[in-house]
A = this chain, B = another copy of it.
Amino acid sequence: MSGPRPFANALEMLRSAGLRPTRQRLALARLLFDKADRHVTAEQLHGEAVSAAVPVSLATVYNTLHQFIGAGLLREVVVNPGRSYFDTNVSDHHHFFLEESGRLVDIPGDRIDVSNVPLPPAGTAIRRVDVIIRVERDED
* A98-113 near B? 1/0 per residue, CB < 8 Å: 1100000101000111
Q: Say whether, besides A80-B78, A131-B129, A137 and B124 are in contact (CB < 8 Å).
A: yes
Assembly CA distance A137 to B120 (angstroms): 10
For A139, the chain B residues whose CB sits under 8 A away are 125
A127 x B134 contact (CB < 8 A):
yes
In whole Å, how far is A134's beta carbon from the nearest beta carbon of chain B?
5
Among the 9-residue stretches A15-23, A29-37, A46-54, A81-89, the one with 4 or more Cβ atoms under 8 Å from chain B is A81-89
Q: Say whether, besides A84-B81, A120-B135, A126-B133, A113 and B111 are in contact (CB < 8 Å).
A: no
Interface size on A, residues (CB 8 A): 41
Assembly CA distance A76 to B115 (angstroms): 24
| In-complex Cβ contact of A79 among B78, B116, B136, B137 (8 A) | B78
Q: State the A residues within 8 Å of B (CB).
A: 76, 78-84, 96, 98-99, 105, 107, 111-118, 120-121, 123-140
